[in-house]
Amino acid sequence: MNKARTAAVELGAASFVPLISSFLLAVLMLLPLGSGVANVTMPHLAMIAVFYWITRRPMLMQYGACAAVGLCLDLWLNVPLGLNMLLLILARMFVLSQLKHFKGRNNAVHWVVFVVLSFGLYFVSWLIISAVNGVVWPVRAMFIQWLVTAFSYAPIGFLLGRLRRSIFQ
Amino acid sequence: MAWGVRPLVPIVQSIKGLASNTTGARRSVRGRGGLWFYLVASFFFLILELFGASIPGQVRGVADDVVAPVLNLLERPLRYMQSGMERFAGVSDIYQENQDLRDENDRLKQWREAAMQLSRENEQLRLILKVPKREVPAAATARIIGVGGGPFERSVLANAGSLDGVEDGLPVIDENGLIGRVLHTGRWTSRILLITDINSRVPVRLERTGALAIAEGQNENYLRLRFLPAEADIRVGDRVLASGHGGVFPPDLPLAIVSKIDNEYMFLEPIGGLEKLDYVRIMAYHAVPDTDALLLDDDGGADNE
C-alpha cells in the first residue's frame, strides 16, 4: 500500500478535504462579484489552495487531483484545455522538489515561495496563451491577477489553515 | 528444527529487503508514471488547441451545466449581500437621490409623450411604405451566474441554454445596449463572449455621420475603433451603433460612446453595463439565412414533389 493510500485510509473521508476545498475555491472563482473585471481581479483561488495543500499534506493532493482541478477549471473558465491542468501539475512538481528547503519554516517563507512560484506559473501561462493564439498576449490583466493572487495567499492560507487544524488535529 | 532456522534468517531478511526495494521502485515508478501521464495529457490538450482542433463547445457546455446549480446557489446570497451593502452605502445620499429622480421623472414624462407620438407616426409611415418590421424577438431572458476567462477572456455564464431556445451566435443585450454574443450553449446554460473580449469584432457605424468601422475588444474595459475612413468626422461623445453588416448583430443597437481620440487610436466606452451585469436578453436574431436549413428545405421540397 503506497503512502498516499495509507494516509487516505487512516484519515477516511477527511482525506478528501484538500481536493474538495480546492474544487470549491475553483467554483468560487467563477462567481460574478459585481464587476465586469471580476474575472481579472479575482485571485487564482485554486492555485492558492493547491499550493497550500501540497506544502502541508502532499500525500492528499496527488498529481491526479491537481490535474482534475486544473481540467475542470479549464472547462469552466473557457481557457485553452490543459492550461490550468499543466500549471497545477508544475506547481506540485516544483513544490515537491523544493519542499525540503522550506518545510517547517514559518508562513512568511511559504508566502514568498508562493509569490515566486505563481509568478513563474503566470509567465508559463502567458507563453502558452500567446502560442495558442499566435499573438503576443497583453500582459496587464495577467500581471494584475498575479498581484491579487499573491496578496490573497495570506488570508486564504489562513482560512485553509483553520480548516486543516480543525480537521486533521 | 532450530539448527535449520538460523541459516535461513539472512535469506529471509534479504528477501524482505528485496521485496521492500521492489515496492519502493514500483512506488517511485507509479508516482513518476502518474506525473508523466498527466503532463502528456495536458500537453496533448494544449497541442490540440494550438492546431485549432479545440474540443467541441458541447463539452464545455456540459461542464457549465454541471457547475451551474452550485453557482446558482452561491450567487444569490452574494447578490443579496451586494445589494444590501449598496443600500447601506446609499442611505446618506437618499434625499438628494430622491430629488434627482423626481427631476428625471418629469423630464422622462415629456420625452415619453414625444416618443409615443413619433412611434405612431413611424408605424403609419412603415405601413404606407410597406417597410418590414425590425423588432427582434427575445429568445430568452437570462441571469448572469458566473464569469470566466480570468485574464485571458471576457466572457460570462448565463442561466439559459438550448432548452430555453438559446443558440450559438445569438446577440445579447442588457437594458442599455449590446453586450456580446452567445459563444456556446449547454442545456441550461450559455456562455456569452463580451464585446470587450480580444476576439470580439463588431461592425459598427457612427450615429452622427453614418461612417462605418469595426469595434474591436482589447480584453480591457474599453474597445478600439478600427478601419474608420480617414476622412470620417469623429468626436468624443459620438454614439456608436451596430451596423448590422455581417449578419451577426441586428442594426442600430447601441454599442459604445467614443471616449478618447489619440491620433489614429480611437477608444470606445461600452454603453452596456458590463461592469455590473445582472439580467440580460438573448435575441432571436438570424439575419444570415441558415444554409443547412435552406438545403433541408430544398430536400423536403424535392421529396414533396
Out of A29, A67, A76, name the one closest to residue B41 (CB).
Answer: A67
Which of B31-40, B46-55, B58-67, B110-119 has the lowest average pLDDT?
B46-55
Q: What is the DSSP string of B38-100?
A: HHHHHHHHHHHHHTT-PPPHHHHHHHHHHHHHHHHHHHHHHHHHHHHHHHHHHGGGHHHHHHH
Confidence of residue A19 (pLDDT cuts 50, 70, 90): very high
Q: What is the DSSP string of B90-147?
A: HGGGHHHHHHHHHHHHHHHHHHHHHHHHHHHHHHHHHHHHTPPP----EEEEEEEEEE
State the amino acid at position B50 in one-letter form.
L
CA nearest A126 in B: which residue?
Answer: B152
CATH of the domain at A127: 1.10.1760
> In whole angstroms, how far apart are CA B82 and each of B72, B76, B162, B221?
15, 10, 30, 21
Share of chain B above pLDDT 90, in %: 27
Q: Are strands B201-206 and B171-173 parallel, antiparallel or unpaired?
A: unpaired
**Hey, of A6, A33, A35, A77, which one would you mutate to test binding to chain B, going by the most B CBs within 10 A of its CB?**
A77
Out of B35, B41, B146, name the one closest to residue A32 (CB).
Answer: B146
Task: Give Cα B35 distance to the centre of its chain.
Answer: 34
Strand partners, B242: B204
In chain A, the number of structural domains is 1
Q: What confidence tens digit (pLDDT) does each residue in B195-252 have?
A: 999 889 999 999 888 899 999 998 888 899 999 888 888 889 999 999 988 888 888 8
A152–chain B Cβ distance below 8 A for any pair: no
Give the three cell numbers for residue B274.
Answer: 458590463
Give the three cell numbers for residue B77.
Answer: 446570497
Q: What confidence tens digit (pLDDT) does each residue in B276-305 have?
A: 788 899 998 876 555 554 554 554 444 433
CB pairs under 8 A between A and B: 155
Contacting residues of B for A32, CB less than 8 Å apart: 75, 78, 144-147, 156, 277
A39–chain B Cβ distance below 8 A for any pair: yes
Please give the backbone phi and psi of residue B205, each rounded to the nearest 5 degrees, phi first.
Answer: -140, 150
The helix, strand and coil proportions of chain A, stated in percent and rounded to the nearest 5, come to 80, 0, 20
Neighbours of B67 (CB within 10 A): 21
Break chain B into its structural domains and give their ranges: 100-133, 138-283
Selected from 3.90.1150.10, 2.40.10.340, 3.30.470.20, 2.60.120.620, the CATH number assigned to the domain covering B138-283 reads: 2.40.10.340
Please give the backbone phi and psi of residue B73, each rounded to the nearest 5 degrees, phi first.
Answer: -70, -45
Sign of CA dihedral A99, A100, A106, A112: negative
Tell me which range, B8-22, B78-92, B266-280, is most confidently predicted by mean pLDDT.
B266-280
Contacting residues of B for A137, CB less than 8 Å apart: 152
Q: What is the DSSP string of A35-93?
A: -TTHHHHS--HHHHHHHHHHHH-GGGS-HHHHHHHHHHHHHHHTPPTTHHHHHHHHHHH
Out of A36, A74, A138, name the one closest to residue B277 (CB).
Answer: A36
Q: Do B150 and A86 touch (CB under 8 A)?
A: no
- B194 sits in which H/E element: strand B190-194
